[in-house]
Amino acid sequence: MKALIRLLAIIRKELRQLRRDRLTFGMIVGIPIIQILLFGYAINTDVRNLVAAVADQSDTHLSRQFIAELGQTQVLDLGRAAAGPEELERWLRDGSISVGVLIPPDFDRRVLDPGRPAAHLLVDGADPTILGVANQLAFMPLAFDTGKASRPARTLEVRPYYNPERRTAINIVPGLIGIILTLTMSLFTAVAIVRERERGNLELLINTPVSTLELMLGKIAPYVVIGLIQLALILIVGRLLFDVPTRGSIVELYMAAAVFIIANLALGLLLSTVARTQFQAMQMTIFFLLPSILLSGFMFPFAGMPPFAQWLGELLPNTHFIRLTRGIMLREARLAELLPEVYALLAFTLVAMAGAVRRFSRRLD
Amino acid sequence: MTAADDRAISARGLTKSFGELVAVSHLDLDVPRSRIYGFLGPNGSGKSTTIRMLCGLLTPSSGRARVLGLDVPVDAAALKPRIGYMTQRFSLYEDLTSEENLEFIADIYAFDRQRRKRRIAEVLERYDLTDQRRQFAGTLSGGQKQRLALACAVLHRPELLLLDEPTSAVDPKTRRDFWGKLFELAEAGTTILVSTHYMDEAERCHRLAILDRGVKVADGAPSELKASTGMTVVEVSGDDPYAAQRALSGHAEVVSVTQLGVRLRILIPDSVPRALELVRAALSGAGVRAEAEIVPASLEDVFVAVTQNGRRREARA
Ligand SMILES: Nc1ncnc2c1ncn2[C@@H]1O[C@H](COP(=O)(O)OP(=O)(O)O)[C@@H](O)[C@H]1O
Ligand SMILES: [Mg+2]
C-alpha cells in the first residue's frame, strides 16, 4: 500500500514535470513526425528519372528505336546527347549525369550476336542503388524485332507479395516505428534519471524511504503511455501520407509495441546508471541506436548479414520488434505466430531491468 | 546501545578517503539528543562528507557510526524514515510549485490524505510560505528556497535533522529567522546537526565540533571552547594597524595576528608569561603607538588557535 502511494507519487511528479518541459514535450511529438517524413520521402529505393546521357555512335534506325525504349522505362532521363565515350566519362566524373549509355558503331551487328553486349551502360558505381538499377536494365528484353529471337528470355518472374507496387514506404514505416521508439524511449528515461542526479534531486530522494524499484517503475510508467501515443502518431502519418496499411490486428500491434517500449525503457534505466551527465546519456543512446538501424534488418536484409552481425542483431530489441511489426502490419500475422520475438523482448527487459536495479546505487560512492 | 543512551549520534574513528585524499580522518563524535550540534569548518574541511556518512550516503573507509541506535551504513534503510536531510545544494524540484514539492515528499513518506493536507498547511504556515504555495520552487528567493527545503526535511517529523550549510546563500536577517526555527525544533525534541562556516551561527549551537582539513581539532560548548583556548588574546588598537601588524607578525611567540578593522587580535600561548608586556614591548620597539589590552577569546579566536596549533604541529613534525 505504501509502496503504491510512493509509486503513484513518482508517476504524478514525472507527469507534472513533463507537462512543463516544453522541449521534451516537443520531442515526443516532433521526433516521430520529422523522422517519418525524412525517412518516408528521402529513402526511396524505387529509382526514377536518373539523369543520363547517350552517345550514339551508330545512329541507325535500330539504335534510335532502342534509345526510345530506354526512355519509356522512365528509369533514365535521357535528356542529353554526348559526342562520344570521352564526353560521357567526363560528365560522369563531374557528377552531371549518373548513367551514360554508349551505343557502339556496330550496334546493329552486335544485337544479333548473343555472345557480345549490344551496348554499354557507364554507371557511377559509387552509388549501390544506381548500380542495382543498371544491373536490372542490362537484362531489359529488347522488344523490337531483330529478325532473330536470340535474346535470352527471363527464366524467373518476381512477384512481390505484400507490397506488389514495390513501394518503399511500406517497407520503411513498420521498421521506422522501432527506430523512433528505440531513440525516444531510451533517451527520455536515461536523461530523466541523469538529470535528477545532476540537479541534486537524487541525493534527497535516496535519503527517503523510496525503494530503487519504486523509483524506476515510477520513472518509466509515464513513458509507456507516451510511447504508445508516438506509435499512434506514426501510424496515422504513415497512413495519411504514405498509405501504409495495418493489415493485422491493431490491438496485437499495440501489445507488441508495449512490450518493446518497456524493453527500451529498461535499457534507458540501465544507461542512466552508467552515464554521469545528460550529454553522456545522449551519446550512449545514439551509440545503441546505430546498430539498431544497421543490424536489425531495417536497412539491410537480415539473412544477408554475416553470422557475427546476425548474432549481434539478435541481441537488439529492434530486430525482434521489426519482425513483429512487419509481420502484423503487412503479412497479417497473429501475435501467437510470432511469440519467440515477444519472448526475446521480455528476456531483454528482464536482463536490462535487473542490471539497472543492481547498478543503481543508493549511495554516492 | 541501550534506550537510555542519550546520544543521537556516536562515531568512533570515522574516516573517508577519496583515493589519495583523506576527506575525513579518524573522527570521534558524540551528539546529544534534542540539541543543536554544529560543525564549524572552512570549505573542504569534510563537513558534507561527514554528514553524508552519517545518513548512509557514503560508506566510511574505516571507523563506525551509530545514528539513532542504528549502525550506518548497514542499517541505513531503517534509518531513512527517522531522519530529515537538507542537502547543501537546493535539491527540490524547481519545476514544481512549493505545494507540489511538499505533496510529493508527503507521498514519499506515505502520509494518508488527512495527515498530508493538515501537515502541509501547517508547515506552509510555520515556514511562512503560504503566499508562495503556487509559485515554482525555482523562482523562490534564497530565503524562501531555504525555508521550503527545511519544511520538506521536517515534514515527516524526523527525530534527527541533518542540515548541510543551510544558510550559505541567504542574508543575515533571514539567517537569524532561520535559527529561530531551528531552536523551536530543538525545543520540541528534534536533534539537529548543522554545518556552517559562520562564527555567529556556531556561537548559537549547544555544542560544536571544529573541523580542519578533515580532522576534528576541538569540540565542546562554545563557552567551554572559548575558556580553554590555551591562548591569551591581546587586542591592539592604534592609528596605524599595518605598522602594528608588521611589528608583531614576525614575533616568535605570536601565534597569529588577525586584523578586524582598525584593531588587531594577537594570540599568544598561555605558556608565554606576561603576554601583554611582550606585545607592548614589541610595539614600542618598532616605534608604533597603539593601545593593547587583554580581552576574552571569541569563537573566531578559538578557531584560529586550534587550526594554527594543527599547522604548527605539522610544521614541527
Ligand atoms: N565524491 C568525492 N570525490 C572526491 N573528492 C571528494 C568527494 N567529495 C568530497 N571530496 C573532497 O573531500 C574534501 C571534503 O569535502 P566536503 O566534505 O565537501 O567539505 P565541506 O563540506 O566541509 O566543504 C574536499 O577536499 C573535497 O574536494
Ligand atoms: Mg559542504
Find chain B residues with C-beta within 8 A of A6's C-beta. 107-108, 110
Residues near ion ligand 2 (Cβ under 5 Å): B 48, 88
Most A CBs within 10 A among B49, B57, B58, B70, hence the mutation to make, goes to B57
- For every residue of B152-195, DSSP letters joined together read HHHTT--SEEEESSTTTTS-HHHHHHHHHHHHHHHHTT-EEEEE
Give the model confidence (pLDDT) of B264-299 as tens digits: 999 999 888 888 998 999 888 888 888 999 999 999
Whether residue B185 is found in the same domain as residue B88: yes
Query: C-alpha cell of A216?
Result: 524506476
Q: Which ligand 1 atom is the nearest neighbour of the CA of B211?
A: 22
pLDDT, averaged across chain A: 85
What is the distance in A from the centroid of ligand 2 to the CA of B51? 9
Ligand 1, atom 2, lies closest to the CA of B18
Give every CB contact of residue A202 below 8 A, 6+ residues apart in sequence.
A193, A196
Write the burial class of residue A307 (CB in 10 Å: 0-12 exposed, 13-18 middle, 19+ buried): exposed
The one-character DSSP state at B205 is: S
Q: Please compute the mean of the pLDDT values over residues A229-243 and round it to a whole number.
A: 90
Q: Does B94 touch chain A (CB under 8 A)?
A: yes
- Whether B211 and B259 share a structural domain: no
Name which of A50-59, A317-326, B83-92 the model is least confident about.
Answer: A50-59
Query: Average of pLDDT values for B188-195?
Result: 96
Residue B309 lies in a domain: no
Three-point CA angle A300, A305, A306, nearest 5°: 160
CB within 8 Å: B73 and A201: no
| Closest Cα in chain B to A362 | B57
Ligand 1 atom closest to Cα of B39?
22
Helices (H), chain A: 2-20, 22-42, 61-72, 85-94, 107-111, 128-138, 168-199, 201-205, 212-242, 250-274, 278-294, 307-315, 317-325, 339-359
Query: Would you say residue B138 lies in a domain?
Result: yes
Q: Helix (H) and strand (E) counts for chain B? A: 11, 14
Question: What's at B54, amino acid-wise?
Answer: L
B108 with A210: Cβ contact below 8 A: yes
Domains, chain A:
50-161 (3.40.190), 168-364 (no CATH)
Residues B122 and B245 in one domain: no
Segments forming the whole domain that contains residue B76: 7-221
The CATH number assigned to the domain holding B59 equals 3.40.50.300
Q: What is the pLDDT of residues B110-165, one digit of tens each?
A: 999 999 999 999 999 999 999 999 999 999 999 999 999 999 999 999 999 999 99
Give chain B's length.
317
End-to-end CA distance of chain A: 31
Q: Whose CA is nearest to atom 4 of ligand 1?
A: B18
β pairing state of B191-196 and B36-40: parallel
The alpha carbon of B46 and the centre of ligand 2 are apart by a number of angstroms equal to 7
Query: What pLDDT is recorded for position A163?
Result: 63
Residue B2, in any domain of the structure: no
Residue A147 has pLDDT above 60, yes or no: no
Report yes or no: B151 at the A interface, CB cutoff 8 Å.
no
Query: Pairing between strand A120-123 and B36-40?
Result: unpaired
Q: How far is A3 from chain B (nearest CA, A)?
A: 8
A21–chain B Cβ distance below 8 A for any pair: yes
Burial of B168 from C-beta contacts in 10 A (0-12 / 13-18 / 19+): middle
pLDDT at A167 exceeding the cut of 80: no
Q: Answer whether B105 touches A (CB < 8 Å).
A: yes
> A169-173, A341-345, B233-237: which has the highest mean pLDDT?
A341-345
Domain boundary among B188, B221, B254: B221
Tell whether the model's pLDDT for residue A365 goes beyond 80.
no
